[in-house]
Amino acid sequence: MKLKIALSVFTLFPFFGALVYGQNLNNTRQKEQLNQGWKFYKYQADETPDNLIYDVRPEVNEYKDNIPADSKPTDAVKVQADKSVLKSWILPSGNDFIKDPAKRYLRPVGNPGEQFPFVQKSFDDSTWESVQLPHDWAIKGPFYEGWDTEIGGGMGRLPVQGVAWYRNKISIPQSDKGKRIYLDVDGAMSYAMVWVNGKLAGGWPFGYTSWSLDITPYLDFGKENQIAIRLDNPANSSRWYPGAGLYRNVWLTKVAPVHVKTWGTFVTSKNISAKSANVNLNIELLNQSPQKQIVSISTEIFQLGKQGEKLQKVASDKAVSKSLDANTSTVVKTSLDIQNPKLWKVLPQDGQNLYIAVTQVKSGNQLVDIYETKFGIRDLHFDAKKGVIVNGEKVYIKGVNQHHDLGALGGAFNQKAARRQLELLKEMGCNAIRMAHNPPAPELLDLTDEMGFLVIDEIYDSWEKKKTPLDFHLIFPDWYEQDLRALIRRDRNHPSVIMWSYGNEVGEQYTEQEGTELSRKLNAIVKDEDTTRPTTVSMNYAKPNMPFSGVTDVINLNYQGEGIRNGAGYEGLKGITTPPLYTAFHDKYPDKMIISSENAATLSSRGEYLFPVTNLSSAPAKDGSGADPKTMQVSAYELYSVEFGSSADKVFAATEQHPFVAGGFVWSGWDYLGEPTPYYLARSSYFGIIDLAGFKKDRFYQYQAHWRPDFPMVHILPHWTWPERTGLTTPVHVLTSGDEVELFLNGKSLGKKRKGQYEYRLRWDDVKYEAGELKAIAYKNGKIWSENSVKTAGNATKLVLKSEDKTIRSDGEDLTFITVQVSDNNGIMVPKAKNRIRFSIEGPGEIVATDNGDPTDLTSFAAYQRNAFNGLCLVIVKAQQDKTGVLKIKAEADGLISGEIPIKISN
Ligand code: GAL
């Protein structure tokens, strides 16, 4: 096992070695990454897994996961509990998050599973696969094809289901004796149960929660120790691709018996002005020693640099003394003033300012813990008429919904890939993310802090009522309090997080009192943890006159604001139908802010233009109208939506007509794995503004035009290579941040058009195709603002590679993304090219995955061969750990000149 020390005081103070502030640090906190050295085994389809199950699950018979997303959730099925399940040993792991001591769980006697070979030190796992975390066991496929498959389109057609084991050996030196040692898991999908040296230490069923186990009692100090983690990820358990495995970082944290609890600090600020800010810290201290301890606590605050380094000290407090009885905890409160605070800012402002509070705990004279809390200072207000106000300025929410997967990398968290998603969204003008519908990897919130996105942190897609037969409604009754409190404690110091959402379109919306009561209970838990941020749940059904809609601080509406299955083109569709409801909600709740937490659900496949084109500004995608059942692609004219959705045009108009709406979140920013509405046989969604590979769809420019009105741009669609359409009507639509556009075809003006009120594209619907060049000149206030053109491509002749980085680090995590374009002689992309591309790599690195953004492509993401999709293909590359040199990535295709690109490796 190789341990990497991250975030520890040693890396932050390299020159001081183990001595800081004249203190010996050997006894203070160490947080070590435990991502290397894992062995992995998954039961094959023909094997019967062990019966070390968390709980009995209902049988699933006739279930199909292609039902519409807004179908009514149903009641849970009752099952007979079985005495031999391990649930009673796992429930105590959540005790820290149960407020009422009487409701905490006692560990039963006995040690289930101890005879099972996989948990034993002596078990020989040398034939098991060696893996590095974060690891998603399903992402390489193969994809399931067809209608009646174990995992269908809904969950992304990848083999997420089943039981698997991870094992790792950790050496714990004798010198650690006396410390408490925690295993910190940022996320395990799902139903994790942990054995240490053959003893069942605990676990956590909900796959999206971060959790921590005190494994000290089970460790052998001065020896090698065996960790074994069992996961059991059910089929029929999600409406999207959940990923599978230890898919986020895992850590070992070593602390003295007296220490700050995991996520034990809460920083809030008040009286914020340019001159000063008052920062308050609650610090939860734990004494796990058998004696009473007199401890003293002090905190210093530093400005945080871009690389995470501490800059100048801006405040410090006087040490406070506390007496702590054996095995008790206490909350110490402190208050510090910061002069001339540098406030945290929201995009598009740059230079997000962050601080770090460094809390020292001494027991007697001995420094026993140093706990660091990153935070930001910002003044937040929520106004029913004005919306979100940050540092005194209104910030209109230009948001998107994001699922947790990273496309071809699956659920396995990777910071570079996550940053790439955010960078593109930022370029589009997006300033907010809704974490749909579950807690993200903690590092994603570090990125949103650093980049300046506002975040709605969300936890559940279902409560007691279910959306799929084995979703997390099964554990909700036992775990809702623990999961909810864990989320808030983990994420409450992130300045980017502005709101807690504890539900998305839950079935309880459909009940009157019962669902309202449950919502109140959840709301009270959130308030008990944090009163500085508002609560919300997203509603696609509950109406203003239903008690359910009045529980939370903020009204989050999914699709209801614009109206559901409402307006020209949408009449007569079956399902929830709702007139536009912004005004009705505003009238009923005049003091509550309203957000459009989900809107649009527009569908499209990048580069697929289908004819004829609707003359409406929004229409449902149907076979033969905006969608092609033969190719399973949806038109990229960006006018077609799911039945309950709308085009961006319709959403923009509806929100502009209701200026009290604080803004909204598009469904969805990027395409994601699973939920391939309207073509169930596909693997990934059509909802994204950006496709699964990270290539921009035309819609990107529609949002950019609207969200960045000061950024000069104009974009033309479709592409202009239609040899089979010569003389045929081929509508041309232009997206611009200007107000007027003149369009030219082969130098001939097709007229100048001006955007009317509530118009968000300019349409030349009668253009007869002729090869050549289409050019758009955009104007703003009568002056030329931006120009762009599209040209007819010739035959494909070559592959052109472009990398997002010239150099990558060999730290085992860094990646780069290389786009391969099928080009004609002049370097113009051949827009319908589907050439088979073969990839190879030379040098100390590997091709991690390939993709092309085609939702219907069932080629494994691990394949080195893939068809281009409409001219483009993506290859993701990584360097071997600790190596240097140069990688050469080559792309070849029959009949085309191959392309090659070098990538330098640094360490
Ligand atoms: C919503 C749901 C999302 C997604 C979306 C598009 O109803 O909240 O999770 O399913 O529809 O289908």
Q: What is the mean pLDDT of residues 426-443?
A: 98
- Grouping H, G, I as helix, E, B as strand and the rest as coil, residue 905 is strand
Inter-residue contact 369 to 258 (CB < 8 Å): yes
Dist CA 568 CA 452 (whole Å): 38
What is the pLDDT, as a whole number, of residue 585?
Answer: 98
Dist CA 850 CA 871 (whole Å): 14
Computed from CA positions of residues 803, 805, 810, 813, in that sequence, does the dihedral angle turn out positive or negative? negative
Whether 69 is in the pocket of ligand 1, judged by its Cβ within 6 Å, is: yes
> Atom 11, ligand 1: which residue's CA is nearest?
69
Dist CA 34 CA 215 (whole Å): 14
| Residue 24: pLDDT over 60 | no
Helix, strand, coil % in the chain, rounded to nearest 5:
15, 35, 50
Inter-residue contact 640 to 648 (CB < 8 Å): no
- Grouping H, G, I as helix, E, B as strand and the rest as coil, residue 417 is helix
Whether 640 is in the pocket of ligand 1, judged by its Cβ within 6 Å, is: no
* Residue in the structure block whose two tokens are 């034993």: 120
Ligand 1 geometric centre to CA of 190 (Å): 22
Which atom of ligand 1 is nearest to 505's Cα? Answer: 8
Whether 854 is in the pocket of ligand 1, judged by its Cβ within 6 Å, is: no
Whether 639 is in the pocket of ligand 1, judged by its Cβ within 6 Å, is: no
Is 505 a known active-site residue? yes
From the candidates 284, 450, 505, 562, which is the catalytic residue? 505
- Grouping H, G, I as helix, E, B as strand and the rest as coil, residue 577 is coil
What is the pLDDT, as a whole number, of residue 82?
Answer: 61
Q: What is the pTM of this model?
A: 0.96
- What is the C-alpha R_g of the chain? 28
Whether 643 is in the pocket of ligand 1, judged by its Cβ within 6 Å, is: no
Which atom of ligand 1 is nearest to 68's Cα? Answer: 12
What is the pLDDT, as a whole number, of residue 817?
Answer: 98
Ligand 1 geometric centre to CA of 309 (Å): 40
In the sheet where 773-780 sits, what is the strand order?
748-754, 740-745, 773-780, 783-791
- 298: tokens are 């002090």
* Residue in the structure block whose two tokens are 């799902």: 190
What confidence tens digit (pLDDT) does each residue in 615-668 have? 999 999 999 999 999 999 999 999 999 999 999 999 999 999 999 999 999 999
Q: What is the mean pLDDT of residues 875-891?
A: 96
Ligand 1 geometric centre to CA of 851 (Å): 24
Dist CA 843 CA 424 (whole Å): 29
Structure confidence at residue 80 as a pLDDT band (50, 70, 90): low
Mark out the alpha helices in 667-742 (DSSP H runs).
Answer: 699-707
Inter-residue contact 554 to 535 (CB < 8 Å): yes
Ligand 1 geometric centre to CA of 795 (Å): 40
Which atom of ligand 1 is nearest to 687's Cα? Answer: 6
Higher pLDDT, residue 307 or 485: 485
| Residue 374: pLDDT over 70 | yes
What is the pLDDT, as a whole number, of residue 14?
Answer: 31
CATH number, domain 798-906: 2.60.40.10
| Residue 27: pLDDT over 90 | no
What is the pLDDT, as a whole number, of residue 67?
Answer: 82
Q: What is the mean pLDDT of residues 877-887?
A: 95
Q: What is the mean pLDDT of residues 323-352?
A: 95
Ligand 1 geometric centre to CA of 829 (Å): 34
Whether 684 is in the pocket of ligand 1, judged by its Cβ within 6 Å, is: no
Structure confidence at residue 83 as a pLDDT band (50, 70, 90): low
> Atom 2, ligand 1: which residue's CA is nearest?
69
Q: What is the mean pLDDT of residues 204-231?
A: 98
Number of H helices, E strands in the chain: 9, 53
Dist CA 475 CA 463 (whole Å): 9
Is 32 a known active-site residue? no
| Residue 822: pLDDT over 60 | yes
Ligand 1 geometric centre to CA of 348 (Å): 28
* Parallel, antiparallel or unpaired: strands 4-5 and 328-339: unpaired
What is the pLDDT, as a whole number, of residue 8?
Answer: 34
Q: What is the mean pLDDT of residues 876-890?
A: 96
What is the pLDDT, as a whole number, of residue 17?
Answer: 32
| Residue 567: pLDDT over 60 | yes
Q: What is the mean pLDDT of residues 31-35?
A: 97
What confidence tens digit (pLDDT) does each residue in 341-355 have? 999 999 999 878 999
Whether 249 is in the pocket of ligand 1, judged by its Cβ within 6 Å, is: no
| Residue 364: pLDDT over 90 | no
Q: Where are the domains of the chain?
A: 34-56+85-251, 720-791, 798-906
Inter-residue contact 128 to 40 (CB < 8 Å): yes
Dist CA 494 CA 51 (whole Å): 41
Inter-residue contact 233 to 192 (CB < 8 Å): no
Which atom of ligand 1 is nearest to 504's Cα? Answer: 8
Which atom of ligand 1 is nearest to 538's Cα? Answer: 8
Dist CA 187 CA 483 (whole Å): 12
| Residue 21: pLDDT over 50 | no
* Residue in the structure block whose two tokens are 């609650």: 282
What is the pLDDT, as a whole number, of residue 5?
Answer: 41
- 445: tokens are 């919130």
Percent of the chain with pLDDT over 70: 97
Residue 625 DSSP class = B
What is the pLDDT, as a whole number, of residue 26?
Answer: 59
Count other C-beta atoms under 10 Å from residue 102's C-beta.
5
| Residue 554: pLDDT over 90 | yes
Amino acid at 855: P
Whether 438 is in the pocket of ligand 1, judged by its Cβ within 6 Å, is: no
Question: Burial letters for 686-698: b for 16+ Cβ neighbours within 10 Å, e otherwise?
Answer: bbbbbbbbbbbbb
Question: Burial letters for 488-527: b for 16+ Cβ neighbours within 10 Å, e otherwise?
Answer: bbbbbbbbbbbbbbbbbbbbbbbbeeebbebbeebbebbe
* Residue in the structure block whose two tokens are 């174990």: 150
Whether 65 is in the pocket of ligand 1, judged by its Cβ within 6 Å, is: no
Q: What is the mean pLDDT of residues 467-492?
A: 97
What is the pLDDT, as a whole number, of residue 11?
Answer: 33
What confidence tens digit (pLDDT) does each residue in 596-614 have? 999 999 999 999 999 999 9
Ligand 1 geometric centre to CA of 597 (Å): 11
On the question of a common fold for 720-791 and 798-906, the answer reads: yes
> What phi-psi label fits residue 381: left (phi over 0), alpha (psi between -120 and 50 degrees) or beta?
beta
> Across all residues in the chain, what is the average pLDDT?
95
Ligand 1 geometric centre to CA of 355 (Å): 36
Inter-residue contact 717 to 733 (CB < 8 Å): yes
Higher pLDDT, residue 747 or 45: 747
In the sheet where 4-5 sits, what is the strand order?
4-5, 30-33, 250-255, 180-185, 211-214
Q: What is the mean pLDDT of residues 710-715?
A: 98
What is the pLDDT, as a whole number, of residue 594?
Answer: 98
* Parallel, antiparallel or unpaired: strands 619-620 and 640-641: parallel
Which residues have a Cβ under 8 Å from the Cβ of 100 and sit 6 or more positions away?
Answer: none
Which atom of ligand 1 is nearest to 601's Cα? Answer: 6
Q: Does the domain formed by 720-791 have CATH 2.60.40.10?
A: yes
Q: What is the mean pLDDT of residues 221-241?
A: 97
Count other C-beta atoms under 10 Å from residue 899's C-beta.
21
Ligand 1 geometric centre to CA of 401 (Å): 10
* Parallel, antiparallel or unpaired: strands 162-172 and 223-233: antiparallel
From the candidates 458, 464, 562, 598, which is the catalytic residue? 598
Largest interatomic CA distance in the chain: 89
Whether 508 is in the pocket of ligand 1, judged by its Cβ within 6 Å, is: no
Inter-residue contact 666 to 656 (CB < 8 Å): no
Whether 482 is in the pocket of ligand 1, judged by its Cβ within 6 Å, is: no
Supply the DSSP string of 475-520, one letter for each residue.
Answer: THHHHHHHHHHHHHHHHTT-TTEEEEEEEES-GGGGSSHHHHHHHH
Structure confidence at residue 81 as a pLDDT band (50, 70, 90): low
* Residue in the structure block whose two tokens are 């059509």: 686
Whether 163 is in the pocket of ligand 1, judged by its Cβ within 6 Å, is: no
Supply the DSSP string of 524-572, one letter for each residue.
Answer: HHHHHH-SSS-EEEEESS--TTSGGGGSSSEEEEESTTT-BS-STTTTT
What confidence tens digit (pLDDT) does each residue in 117-140 have? 999 999 999 999 999 999 999 999
Q: Does the domain formed by 34-56+85-251 have CATH 2.60.120.260?
A: yes
What confidence tens digit (pLDDT) does each residue in 782-804 have? 999 999 999 999 999 999 999 99
Structure confidence at residue 9 as a pLDDT band (50, 70, 90): very low
What confidence tens digit (pLDDT) does each residue in 687-710 have? 999 999 999 999 999 999 999 999
What does residue 122 show for φ and ψ, rounded to 5 degrees?
A: -75, -10
- Roughly what angle, to the nearest 10 degrees, separates helices 415-428 and 699-707? 60
